[in-house]
C-alpha cells in the first residue's frame, strides 16, 4: 500500500476537463481561442510545484487523427498554456499528447506509453509514488496500470462507477489535498 503521507514524485495531469474546460461531447479544443483554464488551475499547479512535485501533462488528442486539428495546433496550445502557467508561477516538467485513433498505439490512455516516456525523460519519477489526476475512466485505468494513486475530478460527465482513491471537484481541491500531508 502507498504511503499517502509521502510526497509524490510526480503528478500526471490530464488536460481537457482537468486543467482547462473540456469541449462539448464529440468536439475538441482545436485552437488557443477555445482554451480556457478552469478556476484556480494555474494556482493548483503552482501549489504542487511549491510542494516539490513534478507536474506532467498527459493528454489524448484524437482530434488530430480525425483531422479536426493539426499537431501544430495542439503544440501551439501547449506552448501558450505553458507560457500562461509560467506567468502564474506554475511550471510543467513536460507535456505529452497522443495524436492517434483508438487502438492504433500504445500511448493513448488508458495505455501507458506517455507515462513511460515521462519516466525516461523526467528525472526521479517513481510510479508507485506518483499521482494521476483526471476526469475520465481512461485516466484512472492508466493510473492503475502504473501503480499510481488515482484522483478523479468528479463532474457530471465523469464516470461514477470508476474505481478511484479519491474524488474531488477540481484540480485545486486535489492540489490542496496532496499538499496537506506535507504541512502537518
Q: Evaluate whether residue 54 is within a structural domain.
A: yes
Task: List Cα–Cα distances, 145 to 51, 83, 181, in angstroms.
Answer: 25, 31, 25
Q: Evaluate whether residue 1 is within a structural domain.
A: no
Supply the DSSP symbol for 165.
Answer: S
- pLDDT value, residue 156: 67
Average pLDDT estimate for 138-154: 96
Q: Evaluate whether residue 134 is within a structural domain.
A: yes
54 beta partners: 10
Q: Evaluate whether residue 154 is within a structural domain.
A: yes
Q: Evaluate whether residue 4 is within a structural domain.
A: no
Q: Evaluate whether residue 76 is within a structural domain.
A: yes
Distance between CA atoms of 51 and 31, rounded to whole angstroms? 31
Q: Evaluate whether residue 81 is within a structural domain.
A: yes
> What's the mean per-residue pLDDT of the chain?
92
So which residues are the catalytic ones?
Answer: 14, 16
Residue 90 has pLDDT above 70, yes or no: yes
Distance between CA atoms of 34 and 164, rounded to whole angstroms? 30
Q: Evaluate whether residue 2 is within a structural domain.
A: no
Q: Which long-range contacts (CB under 8 A, 24 or more apart) does 76-80 make?
A: 76/31, 76/32, 77/29, 77/31, 77/32, 77/35, 80/32, 80/35
- Find the CATH number of the domain harbouring 14: 3.40.50.1000
The per-residue pLDDT for range 57-85, each reduced to its tens digit, is 999 999 999 999 999 999 999 999 999 99
Q: pTM, whole model, 2 decimals? A: 0.92
Residue 147: which pLDDT band, with cuts at 50, 70 and 90? very high
How many domains would you assign to the chain?
1
Alpha helices in the chain (DSSP H): 41-50, 71-87, 113-121, 137-146, 171-183
Amino acid at each position: 500500500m502507498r504511503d499517502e503521507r509521502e510526497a509524490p514524485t510526480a503528478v500526471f495531469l490530464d488536460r481537457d476537463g482537468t486543467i482547462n474546460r473540456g469541449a462539448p461531447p464529440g468536439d475538441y479544443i482545436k485552437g488557443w481561442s477555445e482554451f480556457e483554464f478552469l478556476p484556480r488551475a494555474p494556482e493548483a499547479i503552482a501549489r504542487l510545484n511549491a510542494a516539490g512535485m513534478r507536474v506532467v501533462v498527459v493528454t489524448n488528442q484524437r482530434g488530430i487523427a480525425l483531422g479536426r486539428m493539426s499537431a501544430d495546433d495542439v503544440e501551439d496550445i501547449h506552448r501558450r498554456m505553458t507560457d500562461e502557467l509560467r506567468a502564474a508561477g506554475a511550471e510543467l516538467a513536460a507535456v505529452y499528447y497522443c495524436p492517434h485513433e483508438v487502438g492504433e498505439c500504445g500511448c493513448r490512455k488508458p495505455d501507458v506509453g506517455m507515462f513511460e516516456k515521462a519516466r525516461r525523460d523526467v528525472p526521479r519519477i517513481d510510479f508507485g509514488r506518483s499521482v494521476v489526476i483526471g476526469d475520465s475512466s481512461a485516466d484512472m485505468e492508466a493510473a492503475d496500470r502504473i501503480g499510481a494513486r488515482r484522483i478523479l475530478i468528479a463532474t457530471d460527465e465523469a464516470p461514477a462507477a470508476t474505481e478511484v482513491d479519491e474524488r474531488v471537484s477540481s484540480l485545486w481541491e486535489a492540489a490542496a489535498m496532496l499538499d496537506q500531508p506535507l504541512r502537518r
